[in-house]
Structure 1
């Protein structure tokens, strides 16, 4: 609104704007949404729907079973600029998204990244359309949505990327893994504190956090060490009533 006011004051009568991209969310997996003891309630679809809504974007949501023909029909039937899938991007027999995407003419930009959580993530492109293949585990979806999907959406919307903040760790922390770790973390007095979690299915830990902290493989951080922190989409720094004393932009 402030930019529109400034343009009007300057006598500008026409402006170049970016049309919000259309987003299609496709959850996959025979086990998702099924009945009985083996059925898994879909949390990825509601999360991604809320994620898009927080950015002011509308989206559609569909589901595809672990069947090549069914997945091909669903992916081919969308005209959205961005198709976001969940699940089916790893190396199993039923991980069909990379193969079907290639059959539909999407060229792979990258597939599998040395990160935790979210290693199997896929990004592919066909002309002006993108396919973002997120893993199936809920915290992996949350992390890769912020790290891969969000920058793409912001670019297509004509916005700058969300800035990473430089914040002090409120507690010492070690990361002995071999991949870059993007760990859910909370704002607390004195900085941020990583949330102890039980893997990429631990939505309770992720929901208790305010964003993601970036920790390098084999790193050892003392309390007070400055680390990079990305707030969740829709999350305002200090929203929970805590404002770290030292905040910088990375």
Structure 2
């Protein structure tokens, strides 16, 4: 059986995935979510002509020639406007954000005025009509589209939605990712492993990545190496209406690799179970009812690398976002051997150099070594059958952080 190229595998994984149905949430729960439908302003901002500075609301004609003395007839503060009208030779003390009173058409800065008597000031600088005034609707007007459909709601967008009068927003639902670790050899962190056991780590990294990308996570624990136990855990994921089911380990061809068999008995449609990449060759993808199943390798590095390449785009597609991997050109700090028929993702560090990024691959690339993945901030991407490369040769890196 020939190995499926990575790009074709990704196409199959994303095929038919659509943003999840919309839901209405409070503003504070909308950050990072994808807006469903364009958002129109429910109000005008500013709702009135407002002062942009502290000073005096004046008639520009009265201060065309300076110095000019004016009578202060009142105060306009934010939240408490002056209700009268500014007439010839008059001014109103005004503060930033306060409504500009009728009759005034400019703001004289407070540093350009000096008191001469009780309720009398002298203007020292002329001001042009409209100076230091924020006109009503400067930012937006009622009915304006302030946020486009599918806008990712970052802090600025959340603030804009609030200013436009929206206490709640309609956004794409967060995907629910069910995570299932498999293997008799696994015990949870904090448990003393038996002589033939290890501490489970994959599920925590995968769950963290999924949450970081905006998914909700259902951790279904560790399923032992029994087909019935794995099948029961899959049923729990389906009963919870998981959108994505991520299995960890058990997807290869050994006698104890039972995930494929359990999925087949559950009626899953298997798309592929081996791909041409390193690390991560035993990657599996299937459809089970309405859920997608991504079977990640058991080795922790393979699992996380595959999650970056496949799980993150799936979560983004369901969330109404576009996932764009951070691929950049770099030069090698060390020589690299010729590659075989698989696309290689080599753990490395990248740093800025005189001509751009410099990528330094780790000498040891064993797929069980989490220390190198934690130390790496990038993966050097080497295409199948890439020839040997000398130090200084150009390469492509996938930046992780």
TM-score by length of 1: 0.84
What residue in structure 2 maps to residue 246 of structure 1? Answer: none
Where do residues 1-250 of structure 1 align in structure 2 (5 Å cutoff)?
1=154, 2-4=156-158, 17-33=171-187, 35-61=193-219, 62-78=221-237, 79=240, 80-171=242-333, 172-190=335-353, 191-219=358-386, 220-232=388-400, 235=401
- Cα distance in 2 for residues equivalent to 1:16 and 1:105: 35
Shift of 1:17: 2.8
Moved more, 150-159 or 169-178: 169-178
Aligned pairs, number: 233
Shift of 1:12: 9.1
Structural RMSD (CA): 2.3
- Cα distance in 2 for residues equivalent to 1:39 and 1:150: 30
Shift of 1:8: 7.1
Query: C-alpha offsets along residues 7-47 of structure 1, whole Å, 9 cap, x if unaligned?
Result: 67889999763211011110000011173221111111221
TM-score by length of 2: 0.54
Greater gyration radius: 2
